[in-house]
Amino acid sequence: MTATTVHFTIASANYLPYVRTLHNSLIEADPDAVFFLFLVDELDDQDLIEALPFDVVEARTVGIPCFFDMAYRYTIMELNTAIKPFCIQYLMDECGFQRIIYLDPDILVLKPLTAVHDAFDQHAELILTPHTRRPLDDGHHPDDRALMLTGAYNLGFCAFANAPETRQLLAWWAEHLRTRCLVDLANGMFVDQKFMDYAPAFVGATMLLHDPGYNAAYWNLHERSITKDSSGTWLADGGPLTFFHFSGVDPTDPSVFSRHQNRFTTSELGDLGTLLEEYLAKLKANTSLGTAILSSLRYAYGRHTNGTPILDVMRQVYRRVHPVPQEDDFNSLFAFEPSFYNEKAERLVEQEGLITRLMHEIWSSRQDLKDHFDLNRTADRSAFIEWFASQAPQEHQLPEPLFDFLPRPEQESGQTSYAAGPVDHTRDESVLLCGYLKTESGVGQGARSLRHALETAGIATHTLTLMPAEFDNTVQAERRDPTKSRDRVAIINANADRTLDVVTRHRKKLEGQYRIGYWAWELPKFPDAWLPAIECVHEIWCPSAFVTNAVSAMTSKPVRTIPHAVEPGNGDGSHARRRLDIGDDTRVVLTTFDTRSFLARKNPAGALEAFKRAFPAPKTDDVVFVMKSHGPADSAEAKRLFTDMAQSDNIISLHGVIEPDALNDLYAAADVFLSLHRSEGFGLSLARSMVEGKPVIATGWSGNIDYMTTDNSRLVEYELADVPPSAYPFAEGQIWAEPSIDHAAMLLRQLIDDPEARKLLGQEAAASAKSPLCRDRIGWLARQRLGEIFTATRRG
Amino acid sequence: MHTPRSTLTPSAVSDESPSAEVPNIDGKRVIFSICSRNYLHYARALIASLRSHAPDVTLLVILADQEGDDDFEDFVGTKVIPVSSLGIPTLFDMAMRYNVTEFNTSIKPYAFQWLFERGAASVIYCDPDTLFYREPIDIFSALDGEEMDAVVTPHITAPLDMDKRPTELRILQTGVYNLGFLALARSEATVAFLRWWASFMPADCRADLKAGIFVDQKYIDLLPSYVPQTKILRHPGYNVAYWNLVHRPLTMTQTGWLAGDAPLVFMHFSGVRADEDQTVSVHQDRLSYNDLGEGAALFDHYRQILREGSSVLESMGISLDYGFGRFTDGVRIEGPVRKLYAKTVPPRSISFEEAFDPLGPSYSGPSSDIPHEGRVLVSHVMYDLWRRKGHLKKTFDLKNPAQTEAFALWVATAGHQEWNIHKRHVPDAVWQRLAERRSWRFKLSQSYFVLAQQVKKISFLFPKPIRRFGVRLNRAILPRVMGRAK
């Protein structure tokens, strides 16, 4: 190697452990390598810099025009990426290097970068590595769409030769990065990286390096295998592994492979797990230098001159107000001037009410606030100001001067406003049922069936209809009881996550009542986050033992199992068959799902696969699979599923809300009901099919086994597995069932081929499920418990 | 809901229909284009230019439209294949979901697959609004000599600016490579790539820049990653269009036209309209017609060819009317209605009749976003209008039942005309309410709206302050009056 080639990285002081690890690994692989660090920081202790065994250039000395403007404009991550082209120009112009190789600080080098040097020798002027060589379309994050938004090439690595076209590219890139090095996907920007999608178009001698040994990382592990051979050499797809990019590792938590993805857990890494352990050990060893703990060094551009932290939202306000770079010096740019943020927002100058730049910026950065407050409306503006005064200072850690001029919200008496309080014994022995009585979802169905059960059992019931925003709410329900009811018991038939909101919203109405939460939850461990919901009720009812177990592990309050009442419908299936053009001899397999529930849990894709395996020849098998669904269809997951469904002739997709009668008829038209759920709280559609006398094939786990046995249904074998992160809310540390698709396919094939077995199983299902789930029995169960409660809360 | 499968048009699901016959393309090179009826004269011009400059190549045009009995082949000058022959599983769903541009682009991956399945060795796609001036030898030599699997042309090969339209950032959002041109050789890598690309077409061939989607084109940013043997052709003579003309001035020499300093091979007349003289493209404001210099002659000539083509079309009696532009009852489908369909209906394999049924539940059904309290006055289409229009949001608070009714009555009186809403997309209950309202105040505001629709046509006659007042009256004051009058 000649001294015309240089490797460099960019980091702030807290990343010095990474930089030292990178440098060590590079020198170990390639002892002659020249290495520079550009330090995006200012250290009080210059001796620290002296102690580092490589050249360190402070970013402010690189000669970047308006550097301090960038330091204020950008977050630490944005600034670290924004100065990349300036550093490359500096290394070419001030240091005379001809070949510049950039490596992210979180890279571990294992071999000299031979392919890069060779490419330069063959006159490549710019070398980039594509994130991946194969599509990322398995439903995990990140996916192809993420690459289309953030850039095809990973800019944790790039190599530039000093040549006219690359110089032109650098100048163009640098100019953009003075103000546009942002994470703003909606507007087509992702720090320095997205711009480089243009690189192969602007520089003719661009080489896209597809070698699997270069820039291996979480985004390409699905297409390359990282192994260690017997001599201890690391390999990528059998060739040498040159460098691995440990993007998103967490030095404090070895169980995290990368924070930015959910495709792989550490346990799935194979040999690579060892490399990760080694890497973390090196980081740890490099954390302290002399007496300094490097990882906790404070960022010089993270505070104003008076010590007030610079919040991201302040940087956003600055960017909005100053779209072009400001030439001021450090002291004036970094002085804390509250008036700058407290100015009335430019977008709202014509409207009444003081909404400051900072308030408006917080509003526009949060979808929940945008959904809730329409700032074009006067009433919403005052509501927003009220919200801001009471919530924002805490949620956003705002310094006093940015909110102290707002009217102080009245102090509520804290917790007691919603916590379950003493019961008012003068109230009547009747029940107020709060639920989604008009909503066409499972929760709505549950509320309606409970109401009928209570009425059947002769319990005086009043109702309070809750209206979720995202449903049709068309199911006809009688108007609210007009008398001013004074019910002693309130049953809140909304899941735990909504209960707190319901209680807060209807505080006056629910004051003094004995509150029962009727909740379902679909995983074995009840989330800690919902403990406040338990606080605000006196007792919890659950539809199955599965849910009861989860809830009672979290509280000493009474938890009772009250199943949903399920009655057979009145359809005979002829209407549905006619409408779907299904002949009388064609057998119908049915499944239902709601795209709002997580598709991974209901697992319609598994049911589809099982059906396809059971009936591989759509033209000869006289069977159709009706997949009834409703809910929004625009998630990537839903689109993939529906696209798959559309590819087959004997799959019928019924999407949308249908009339209750038509739905009854559809259940009646089915010959077999199939559910390969990974987990169910109760499984209304399964229970419904059973009381209808239909043979049901379902995963033999979770809430449905309260009423399903090997005698009255076909239970599919399964293995318990960790719930993948983000596959379900509060997935961490949870398990669910992974049903065997092959077993399900076999059961399905057997049942379809054997009409006699179908008939017997259907009879058995109806016989065993009808009476335990009938309205009379559920009403009786509720009445028993309510009777105990009324007695216990009587005067004296 | 689902329609009987027996009513599916046979050509939609099978590729055995007679129109699917193609010349034997086994082992051959094919150049094809895709267009709807409204672009047939563009395709005719392209085919004529290819006849002269790519004589040994099989030329095909895929018609992304309803077929009819017209003699397309005679007009276009080569074999025309109806889109229904390609065996696209969710064809009619896509035809409803997408507007005409999106639909035309969504066909592309399927067409490549279909041609490869029939044995083509290499396939080149060109937009109908491209025109060839020389033989594209650099493409042929990349595919043959260099054994490349794919050839793409970047929109620009040097920076533009951030001031004029489209900015370089906007082009980046729509894709680095222009998909008015794409050449693929049949190989394991390209077949796998096509499978991946096609998998997005049923639902995600939209223009949605915020989500990182731009029709079929944006996906191609990943082509060089997934097909390593991709040639990025920077030759200035290929795919010359408004986005790169500033770098490639057109000049006439003794040996023919030059783009920059290279021979001009093909132009891409994107945004050129036969009847808009002096316009470089409707999609840009960077270049004026004068900036074209000598090149203006190319544009003038192209428009001339288009005008000739469209008069031949007329004489042959071929309708330019887009067959997927109307509901089955003949009412035009507006853009927002397609978007509503795209948002609420998942991709499905359905018949034309079902896909284009004006009474589909995603239009006239009760909106999901407001409480209806037992009566349905606001449909999906109406709610969608309210959501998109700031002044309606401000005037009517749909959480309030009285204002909800006022909004519904306003739609039934004036709104459906102003915003081209299908009458059937307004619930029956609203028409009933409208008939019940008889007070003079109500009638008066109603007749105002009817009048306003007429006056709008001559609004240019009034001075600005009066026009402004008219807008205010129309948007804020009268709708409220209407809500209050019994």
* Max CA separation in chain A (angstroms): 96
A131 interaction partners in chain B (CB closer than 8 Å): 225
pLDDT (tens digit per residue) in A557-604: 999 999 999 988 888 888 899 988 898 889 999 999 988 778 899 999
Q: Does B210 touch chain A (CB under 8 A)?
A: yes
Yes or no, beta carbons of B172 and A194 under 8 Å apart: yes
Residue A663: phi and psi, rounded to 5, are -70, -45
User: What gap in Å lies between CA A194 and CA A201, rounded to an integer?
Assistant: 13
A positions 539-598 inside 8 Å of B (CB): 579-581
Q: Tell me the residues of chain A between 614 and 653 that have a Cβ less than 8 Å away from chain B.
A: 629, 632-634, 638-643, 645-647, 649, 652-653
Contacts of A188 in chain B (CB under 8 A): 169-170, 172-173, 209
Chain A neighbours among B 82-141 (CB < 8 Å)?
89-90, 93
Best residue of A473, A586, A622 to probe chain B, by most B CBs closer than 10 Å: A473
**Angle at the Cα of B22 (from B19 to B23), degrees rounded to 5?**
145
Rounded to two decimals, the ipTM of the complex is 0.91
Q: How many CA atoms lie within 13 A of A769 on its CB side?
A: 36
Cα–Cα distance for residue pair A753/A84, rounded to 1 Å = 67
Task: Please give the Cα distance from B486 to B463 (Å, whole number).
Answer: 34
The verdict on a CB contact (< 8 Å) between A653 and B154 is no
The string of DSSP letters for A691-755 reads: HTT--EEEES-SGGGGT--TTTSEEEPEEEEEPPTTSSTT-TT-EEEEE-HHHHHHHHHHHHH-H
Identify which of A467, A470, A639 has the shortest CB distance to residue B371. Answer: A467
Q: What is the pLDDT at residue A218? A: 96
Give the mutation candidate from A129, A181, A198, A579 for the B interface (greatest B CB count, under 10 A).
A198
Low-confidence ranges of chain A (pLDDT < 50): 1, 413-416, 470-483
What number of other Cβ atoms are within 10 A of residue B144's Cβ? 14
Distance CA A387, CA A380 (A): 10
Question: What secondary structure letter does DSSP report for A563?
Answer: P
Q: Do B346 and A657 touch (CB under 8 A)?
A: no
Query: Is the alpha carbon torsion for A402, A406, A411, A416 positive or negative?
Result: negative
A370 Cβ under 8 Å from any chain B Cβ? no
Which residues, 6 or more positions from B332, have their beta carbon under 8 angstroms from its beta carbon? Answer: B325, B326, B420
CA–CA distance, A2 with A5 (Å, rounded to integer): 6
Using the Cα atoms of residue B309, residue B314, residue B316 and residue B322 in order, give the sign of their dihedral. positive
Query: Is the N-terminal amide bond of A142 cis, ω within 30° of 0?
Result: yes
Separation CA A339–CA A198 (nearest Å): 41
Phi then psi for residue B35, to 5 deg, are -155, 160
Contact A646 B374 (CB under 8 A): no
pLDDT digits (tens, 9 = 90+) for A438-490: 777 777 888 888 998 998 888 888 888 887 654 444 444 444 444 467 888 99
Query: What residues in A contact B348, CB-CB < 8 Å?
Result: 642, 645-646, 653, 655
Tell which of B91, B195, B219, B226 to mutate to test the A interface (max A CBs under 10 Å): B226
Structure-block tokens of residue B381: 């289409």
Question: Tens-digit pLDDT profile for chain B (486 aa)?
Answer: 443 333 333 333 344 444 456 789 999 999 999 999 999 999 999 999 999 999 999 999 999 999 888 889 999 999 999 999 999 999 999 999 999 999 999 999 999 999 999 999 999 999 999 999 999 999 999 999 889 999 999 999 999 999 999 999 999 999 999 999 999 999 999 999 999 999 999 999 999 999 999 999 999 999 999 999 999 999 999 999 999 999 999 999 999 999 999 999 999 999 999 888 888 999 999 999 999 999 999 999 999 999 999 999 999 999 999 999 999 999 999 999 999 999 888 999 999 999 999 998 789 887 766 766 667 889 999 999 998 988 888 888 887 788 888 889 889 988 898 899 999 999 998 999 888 887 777 787 778 777 877 777 787 788 888 888 877 777 777 666 666 655
d(CA A49, CA A55): 9
Give the distance from residue A322's alpha carbon to the nearest chain B alpha carbon, in angstroms.
17
Contact B376 A474 (CB under 8 A): yes
DSSP annotation string for A403-466: TTTSPPPPPP-GGGGTS-----TTSEEEEEEEE-TT--SHHHHHHHHHHHHHHHTT--EEEEE-
Cα distance between residue A429 and residue A794, in whole Å: 9
> Per the structure block, which two tokens stand in for B139?
């493409």
Chains A and B: how many Cβ contacts under 8 Å? Answer: 173
Cβ-based neighbours of B195, under 8 Å, separated by 6 or more: B113
How far is A323 from chain B, CA to nearest CA, in Å?
13
Q: Which of A180, A272, A203, A210 has the alpha carbon at shortest distance from A235?
A: A272
Confirm if A744 and A673 have CB atoms less than 8 A apart.
Answer: no
Are A736 and A523 within 8 A, CB to CB? Answer: yes
Angle in degrees, 0-180, between the axes of helices A755-773 and A775-792, rounded to the nearest 10: 20
Task: Give the Cα separation of A162 and A120 in Å (integer).
Answer: 11
- Strand partners of residue B81: B62
Beta bridge partners of A673: A590, A696
According to the model, what pLDDT value does residue A418 have?
A: 66
Strand order in the sheet with A461-465: A461-465, A428-435, A487-493, A514-518, A539-542, A559-561
* CA nearest neighbour of A566 among A455, A686, A410: A686
Strands A226-228 and A234-236: antiparallel
Does B6 contact A at CB distance below 8 Å? Answer: yes
Contact A472 B5 (CB under 8 A): no
CB atoms A133 and B372 under 8 Å: no
Between positions 249 and 308 of A, the ones with CB within 8 A of B are none
Interface probe for B, chosen from A150, A175, A192, A197 (most Cβ of B below 10 Å), is A197
Question: Chain B partners of A189 at a C-beta cutoff of 8 Å?
Answer: 169
B212 touches chain A (CB under 8 A): yes
* Residues of chain A contacting B209 with CB distance shorter than 8 Å: 186, 188
The span from the first CA to the last CA of chain A, in angstroms, equals: 94
User: Does B173 touch chain A if contact means CB atoms closer than 8 Å?
Assistant: yes
Residues of chain B in contact with residue A204, where contact means CB-CB under 8 angstroms, are: 234
pLDDT digits (tens, 9 = 90+) for A77-88: 999 999 999 999
Question: Edge to edge, what strands does the sheet with A623-630 contain?
Answer: A651-655, A623-630, A587-594, A672-675, A696-699, A714-716
The candidate with the shortest Cα–Cα distance to B87, out of B12, B16, B36, is B12
Say if the Cβ atoms of A188 and B369 lie within 8 Å.
no
